[in-house]
């Protein structure tokens, strides 16, 4: 097999303004396999695993971060304060015998000894494997892949999406089960980690595990917290299984933050912007992101577009960094600010970028990977419209402009993927939610949490009062899990996967329901519903329980 002789990019995770010897892409002069390269290392530095992300038809990003003592309070991972040369290798075979790309990247202390390598010049629509080495230490191997060529559909795409992994509330079993499904691509839609100190955000019966360190407010704290999550073997398995597309929500910084406004603006936080800068820097250091996402002060470019051949275009959104503050003090409200046409959840620039992407798209499926509930969810059966101010319901005009945008652009199939609300949902999307007889113009699939709020409970999906009040809502389940999709030219099949318990390790996953979205048939169609299991804990469902689950915080 021949490969194009094209350049590859070595990204060590450092801003271009830094000295040339430490700039992105700088190679270290030492041989990374030599004993001198490992000087100062007293143990395995690959304790945080490996990851890949943001694939295109020629390559992807490879990531690792060196940390001998990942939970060190200073956030430095027990690493000496010097750069380390890191050998990376890409293989064409799972046995790691045929090296097709290799190079040296610098893991520098200024960026938490993280390594970001942008590899290109590879064959389209192919599996690859990779690993890293420093001195005698060799990382675990990861599996990744390239996307199909832009002019090709390729085969069916197995894509999983997840959100909301609170380390203290349960084991990350769903990450392990996801890895065992061998997806081609994983989307993480936010709340990768949580900011609270131990015994602050608790579940009934007490938390299963404890966070290390104080509430995350400094670079050291965010680095330590990311490292604690990355030491989880189930999360490491999911990262090593496939390339990821990541976006944040709120807990990567502060619950329900909005642009430069913290969760509780009435409580003085004079250092909030410094906290934001620290959180963004640590997020980049710990994610398989391209150099375009290197943060600059309090700003970080995270919304971006990733194409999977002609099959799908993923529009990855950032609904936190540019939004207007939540109306009426946040929460579920009947709020006049929610319908103010001047307010936006994306900001004007990102909105224009998204609408332009719709107009230019020739994809079979235009998929929005984003954070908070898109469809209307009125929790009041009376004349008042009581909705979540933190979701798109709090920015009705913004939602309308974007929905109208894909309709006007003639987007073939619009699908919104969502996290945040700690439950599985499926919904039709409307231009006018007050007219239930109006046409559907898209579909929304919502993934429950990996662990947040603990085990949860099963119930009859149609028993949820939201479904009666909002007839475009078609499914609800309050167990933990993920969504596994199969994206083909003629349909998307979505399996809502659940695990019965996360407060004990090792639970098996099963499909609670399956929905199909057919080509040019907007909306969701249920094709499978597993009968209720009487051996599992069942629970009555109330609107109040859902509001409490989504809004209760310390």
Residues 6 or more apart whose Cβ sits within 8 Å of residue 551: 331, 332, 388, 390
Question: Would you give the DSSP letter of residue 107?
Answer: E
DSSP letter at 448? -
Calpha distance 303→319 (Å, rounded): 9
Of 87, 92, 77, 78, which is closest to residue 27 (Cα–Cα)? Answer: 87
What pLDDT does residue 14 have? 29
- Strand pairing partners for 484? 160, 495
Contacts of 295 by beta carbon, 8 Å cutoff, 6+ apart: 277, 280, 281, 283, 284
Q: Which residues contact 299 (CB under 8 A, 6 or more apart)?
A: 280, 321
Measured CA to CA, the distance from residue 184 to residue 244 in angstroms comes to 9
Per-position DSSP letters for 395-443, written without gaps between them: -HHHHHHHHHHHHHTT-S-EEEEE-SSSSEEEEEEES-TT-TTSPEEEE
Query: Whole-model pTM?
Result: 0.94
* β-bridge partners, 86: 105
**98 burial level (CB within 10 Å; 0-12, 13-18, 19+):** exposed
SS3 sequence of 216-252: CCCHHHHHHHHHHHHCCHHHHHHHHHCCEEECCCCCC
Q: How far is CA 484 from the centre of its chain?
A: 14
Strand segments (E) across 7-83: 9-11, 50-53, 60-65
Query: Token pair of 145, please?
Result: 């892949």
Strands 185-188 and 157-162, sheet pairing: parallel
Q: DSSP string spanning 298-349?
A: TB----EEEEETTTEEEEE--SSTTPPPPGGGSSEE--GGGG-TT--SS-HH
Which regions in the chain score pLDDT beneath 50?
Answer: 1-29
pLDDT at 432: 96
C-alpha count within 13 angstroms, C-beta hemisphere, residue 5: 0
User: Rounded CA gap, 128 and 491, in Å?
Assistant: 27
Tokens standing for 435? 């007219």
Residue range 233-263, pLDDT digits in tens:
999 999 999 999 999 999 999 999 999 999 9
pLDDT given at position 551? 85
- For 499: left if phi > 0, alpha if psi spans -120 to 50, otherwise beta; the answer is beta
Determine contact, residues 379/328, Cβ cutoff 8 Å. Answer: no
């Amino acid at each position: 097999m021949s490969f194009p002789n094209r350049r590859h990019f070595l990204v060590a995770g450092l801003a271009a303004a830094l000295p040339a010897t430490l700039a992105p892409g700088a190679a270290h002069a030492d041989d990374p396999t030599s004993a001198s390269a490992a000087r100062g290392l007293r143990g395995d530095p690959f304790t945080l695993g490996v990851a890949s992300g943001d694939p295109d038809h020629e390559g992807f990003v490879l990531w690792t971060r060196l940390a001998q003592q990942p939970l060190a309070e200073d956030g430095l991972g027990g690493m000496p304060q010097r750069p380390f040369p890191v050998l990376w290798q890409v293989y064409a075979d799972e046995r790691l015998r045929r090296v097709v790309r290799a190079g040296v990247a610098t893991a520098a202390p200024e960026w938490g000894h993280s390594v970001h390598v942008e590899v290109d010049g590879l064959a389209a629509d192919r599996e690859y494997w990779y690993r890293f080495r420093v001195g005698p230490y060799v990382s675990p191997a990861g599996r990744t892949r390239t996307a199909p060529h832009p002019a090709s559909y390729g085969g069916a795409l197995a894509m999983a999406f997840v959100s909301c992994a609170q380390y203290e509330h349960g084991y990350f079993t769903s990450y392990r089960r996801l890895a065992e499904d061998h997806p081609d691509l994983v989307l993480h839609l936010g709340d990768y980690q949580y900011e609270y100190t131990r015994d602050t955000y608790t579940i009934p019966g007490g938390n299963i595990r404890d966070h290390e360190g104080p509430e995350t407010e400094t670079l050291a704290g965010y680095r330590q917290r990311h490292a604690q999550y990355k030491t989880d073997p189930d999360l490491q398995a999911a990262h090593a299984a496939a390339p990821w597309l990541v976006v944040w929500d709120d807990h990567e910084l502060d619950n329900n933050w909005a642009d430069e406004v913290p969760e509780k603006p009435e409580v003085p936080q004079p250092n909030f912007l410094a906290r934001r800068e620290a959180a963004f820097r640590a997020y980049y250091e710990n994610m398989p992101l391209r150099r375009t996402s290197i943060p600059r002060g309090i700003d970080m470019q995270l919304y971006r577009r990733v194409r999977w051949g002609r099959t799908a275009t993923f529009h990855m959104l950032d609904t936190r960094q540019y939004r207007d503050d939540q109306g009426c003090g946040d929460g579920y409200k009947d709020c006049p600010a929610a319908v103010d046409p001047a307010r936006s959840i994306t900001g004007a620039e990102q909105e224009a970028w998204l609408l332009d992407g719709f107009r230019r798209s020739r994809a079979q499926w235009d998929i929005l990977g984003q954070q908070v509930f898109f469809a209307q969810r009125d929790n009041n059966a009376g004349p008042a419209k009581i909705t979540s101010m933190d979701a798109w319901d709090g920015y009705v005009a913004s939602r309308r402009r974007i929905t109208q945008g894909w309709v006007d652009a003639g987007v073939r199939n619009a699908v919104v993927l969502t996290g945040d609300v700690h439950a599985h949902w499926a919904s039709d999307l409307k231009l006018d939610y007050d007219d239930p007889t109006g046409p559907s113009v898209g579909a929304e699939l919502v993934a429950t949490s990996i662990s947040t709020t603990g085990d949860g409970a099963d119930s009859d999906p149609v028993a949820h009062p939201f479904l009666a009040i909002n007839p475009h809502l078609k499914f609800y389940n309050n167990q933990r899990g993920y969504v596994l999709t199969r994206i083909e030219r003629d349909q998307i099949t979505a399996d809502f996967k659940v695990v019965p318990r996360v407060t004990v390790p090792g639970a098996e996953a099963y499909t609670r329901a399956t929905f199909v979205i057919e080509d040019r048939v907007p909306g969701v169609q249920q094709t499978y519903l597993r009968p209720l299991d009487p051996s599992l804990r069942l629970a009555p469902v109330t609107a109040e329980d859902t509001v409490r689950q989504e809004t209760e915080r310390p």
